[in-house]
Amino acid sequence: MPGLNEVFGALADPTRREVMLSLAERPGLTASHLAGELPITRQAVAKHLGALSTAGLVTARREGRETRYTLTPAPLVDAMQWMTDVGAEWDERLERLRRRTSTSTALGGEGEGAGRREGA
Amino acid sequence: MSCVTREIVLPVPRERAWELVTEPDELREWLAEEVEFEVEEGAPLRFDDREGVVERVEPGELIEFTWEDSRVVWQLEDHDEGTRFVVTEERHDMVWGPKLTALASAAALCPA
């Protein structure tokens, strides 16, 4: 399974994000379809589809002589989870910082493990 | 949403807020137990097991650094009740835009 770096790397490119959105709206598009609606060549589309596929964001399915592409959103969920986790870490750190400033202002510092001392 | 952003108003003047986010002894109180940090562009840093480099310093106002696979920006701004501290963390220039964010949210709620 591709790592988050591959996922974020793939999504860092604006054209690849456009390809993703096209596939989200119309699953099963071919590279030619995509080249028809995006301002890039079929070769460029193929390259972008390759990068998205490596990141696990699209899957290819052969149908006769055509290859159809579909979005696989699971890595997007992992990416969202990363953002949620990072946000939660900052919430904890900033809460420690907030407590430190409110206690050092009001009480001139306090011992370790004193916990919350508010409103008294 | 293009990245993770948090902010807090610290009931202290800017000068004190700058100390809180730059002095290793202060950082040990809220950021990490082990702190190796110097407010100097190009200086390597370590917060516990996260390593990175200080990339930009505007004294009293802004610090930008990398840690692991992320880029972090800390900004200080004047506020009526003290100093506003804004934290931004992003990974790979993560400018998703509203459509992709909506798509990711939908995927999280209703996995295919």
Query: pLDDT tens per residue, chain B (112 residues)?
Result: 357 899 999 999 999 999 999 999 999 999 999 999 999 999 999 999 999 999 999 999 999 999 988 899 999 999 999 999 999 998 865 666 777 777 777 776 665 4
Q: Is A59 on the interface with B (CB under 8 A)?
A: no
Tell me, yes or no, if the pTM score tops 0.80. no
Q: Which residues of B touch A24 (CB under 8 A)?
A: 103
What is the three-state SS of chain B? CCCEEEEEEECCCHHHHHHHHHCHHHHHHHCCCCEECCCCCCCEEEECCEEEEEEEEECCCEEEEEECCEEEEEEEEEECCEEEEEEEEECCCCCCHHHHHHHHHHHHHCCC
Contact A93 B31 (CB under 8 A): yes
Q: Which residue, among B13, B4, B1, B2, has the nearest Cα to B74 in the 3D structure?
A: B4
Beta-carbon contacts of residue B22 (< 8 Å; ≥ 6 apart): B37, B39, B63
Contact B30 A80 (CB under 8 A): no
Interface TM-score (ipTM) > 0.95: no
Q: Is A101 on the interface with B (CB under 8 A)?
A: yes
Contact A4 B94 (CB under 8 A): no
